[in-house]
Chain A
Amino acid sequence: MAPFDLAPHAGSLGYFAIFLLVGVGFGAVLEMSGFGDSRRLAAQFYLRDMTVLKVMFTGIIVAAVLVHLAAALELLDIDRTWINPTYLVPGIVGGLIMGVGFIVGGFCPGTSLVAASTLKLDGVMFVLGGLFGALAFGETVHSFEGWWHSTAYGRLTVYGALGLGAGSVVVGLVVMALGVFVVAEVSERVFGRGRSRDPAESGETTALSYGEPSLTGRKAAAFAVGLVALAGATATIGQPTIADRWRWKEPKLGPVLAERGVQIHPAELVELRRDLTLSVRVLEVRDEADFNRFHLSGSRRISLGDTEDPGVVRQLLAESDRTVWVVVGNRERAATEAWKRLVAQGLVNVYILDGGIAGWLGAYPLDPCIARADAARTPAEDDDGMPLRFSVAVGDRVPSSHPDVLRHEPKLDCEVVERANAGPTIVPVSLTWFDGTNAGHFEYLKKVKIQKKVAPKGGCG
């Protein structure tokens, strides 16, 4: 399924050739559309010539329809494509500054390249100015670094924010864009009439004609109906569900799960939590009562429903590559289901605690006054209940919750011995260091291997 995993080929000639070819297509289309002409770009802002708006919005809706249709048909995995992360305020302020540069300079970065490539000297000057602007930004960004990273919402999409299907949003976008085009055509007629220039005048080589409708009659109807129909098809088919995504990954990950390749021993989790270079997040898929009785320190309780909540998952996905997720259930049933859903949605470095809380308390037992095995109950095969009967809810206020925390409390026994030449001397009898539970040592197979995120780095940021 697309997109193709190009990462293994990074740096090869073919890899660069692909991007070169995409660039050629991009540059040629911009040039053909007249984006190499600063006057035409600037005319957009005097409402005479709406080419910029028409080309850009057509490009956006055509690509949006094709991308989401391909995704609906399970040809393209959107989770593995780059979606510009939202940094709302820096984005808006940067956009306003760019607007100023646009009307002063007559280009945007992409179009200035195309202008320069056809020897338009104003385009060349714009590119040089752009290099200077990039330098200026690099030199000054440290003074507003905090603000520059503010209002970060990660991979926030319109459909995610509205809680709608992507297809419906595409339909809405197409309809809105078509409305904008009608306004644009009217605007060109009103403000552009009689403003066409003769190419011979002032030595200009490309005529600018204003006030001519770009699309009329049957062609316009076919264009509009075609786009709406494709968008409608996208909405009708719907985007792949989480279950669909798991189905795609099951051939590869199902066996790993069955061979217990992701179920980590409690001691490995303790070991991981001591690794200061990792961020270990424990997600407990347990109900609140069980969680209050006992949980791992620093863990977060989630429900199975949360693992399908786009907002929650977006938060998890926004964490760094050095994050290891460990899903913990009372036993393993709910945890395994949560694991499947999270992995299906592209979260990496996700593991399941072997045996869940039952396994954990086997390794790091609680004081028998707090909880002990429920003798009256023999667990069924797929039982996912609490393994112990609790006399009191302790939450994470017991050493079993944080055996990873090294608390150097020596337990020392000693005696005083009378020595012939040294007088009374203290002699240690036994010295043990209490490090939480002192349950210390387990033999286990290490299973965690840190993977890089699959989502590609990209965009202009």
Chain B
Amino acid sequence: MTDSARKPRPYVNAYLGGTLLGVVLFLSFFITGNGLGASAAVTRVQVGALAAVAPDHVDRVAYMSEIGGGNRRPFADASVYMLLGTFLGGAISGIANGRFHAETRRGPHVTVPLRWALAFAGGAIMMYGARMARGCTSGQALSGGAMLSVGSFAFMFAVFAGAYLLAWPVRRLWN
């Protein structure tokens, strides 16, 4: 762990990161006419996985059938490739900056199994909300915000409000 090659480099300045994020988002709109996103692709992966084991069930649930029912191919969608790219980009940056290794990030008073359980629960809650809101922090708040969509701003404030309201009661998780 003392090997200097493995010592992680610091994160970039938040405003530089934000500016780069804005440029990527702009290029996405400029080239494809579409913003960034993650949750649509996660849903496609979920439907695709379910269709592999229980295709009849996917056919019967209207919401899923629209994505992967019959001979529809849930993975043949631009959002899935963006998801792959996001994964790849994260890994590349992680490797380049010495942050690519297995670990569990958690608050000081949280055990690893508890952190995993909370991460799973949080992921489930978050994705449920993201589908309800028709987009996540990237697809709805970031992309819609840049295009000045009214709903996206309302959504963004709701996300922050929800998190800030619950932050104090669950402060032991992170402090």
Contacts and interface: CB of A to CB of B under 8 A. Distances in A.
Nearest to A27: B89
A110 B36 contact: yes
A249 B8 CA distance: 53
A128 B120 contact: yes
Dominant SS among interface residues on chain A: helix
A458 interface: yes
A214 to B, nearest CB: 5
A216 B33 CA distance: 35
B73 to A, nearest CB: 10
Interface stretch (A55-63, A270-278, A326-334, A354-362): A55-63
Given A45-B167, A85-B151, A106-B122, A33 B85 contact: no
19 contacts: A17-B81, A19-B81, A23-B84, A24-B85, A27-B86, A33-B17, A84-B144, A86-B149, A91-B133, A95-B156, A118-B90, A118-B95, A119-B100, A128-B120, A130-B124, A173-B148, A456-B32, A460-B79, A461-B40
Nearest to B102: A119
B108 to A, nearest CB: 7
B5 interface: no
B145 to A, nearest CB: 4
Contacts of A126: 119-120, 122-123, 126
Interface string A304-337: 0000000000000000000000000000000000
B159 to A, nearest CB: 4
A39 B105 CA distance: 7
Given A2-B31, A20-B82, A91-B158, A170 B148 contact: yes
A125 B93 contact: no
Given A16-B81, A59-B142, A81 B34 contact: yes
Nearest to A116: B87
Given A24-B88, A62-B23, A97 B30 contact: no
Nearest to A157: B148
Contacts of B97: 31-32
Interface of B: 1, 8, 10-15, 17-40, 42-43, 45-47, 49-50, 61-64, 76, 78-79, 81-95, 97, 99-108, 112, 115-167, 170-171, 173-175
Given A19-B82, A23-B85, A54-B15, A101 B124 contact: yes
Interface of A: 2-4, 6, 10-11, 15-34, 36-40, 42-46, 50-51, 53-67, 70, 75-76, 78, 80-88, 90-123, 125-139, 141-142, 148, 153, 155-161, 166, 169-170, 173, 181, 199, 202-207, 209, 214-215, 223, 456, 458-461
A112 B13 CA distance: 20
Contact of A42 (B30, B123, B174): B174
Nearest to B43: A134
A460 B32 contact: no
B108 A202 contact: yes
A82 to B, nearest CB: 5
A129 B162 contact: no
B64 A42 contact: no
B2 to A, nearest CB: 10
A128 B123 contact: yes
B155 A94 contact: yes
Contacts of A158: 148-150, 153
Given A104-B118, A109-B127, A460 B134 contact: yes
A3 B21 contact: no
A408 B103 CA distance: 77
Contacts of B162: 95-100, 102-103
A11 B124 CA distance: 30
Contact of A215 (B15, B27, B32, B116): B15
Nearest to A93: B132
B50 A135 contact: yes
B18 A59 contact: yes
B26 A107 contact: no
Nearest to A6: B32
Contact of A99 (B27, B83, B158): B158
Nearest to A126: B123
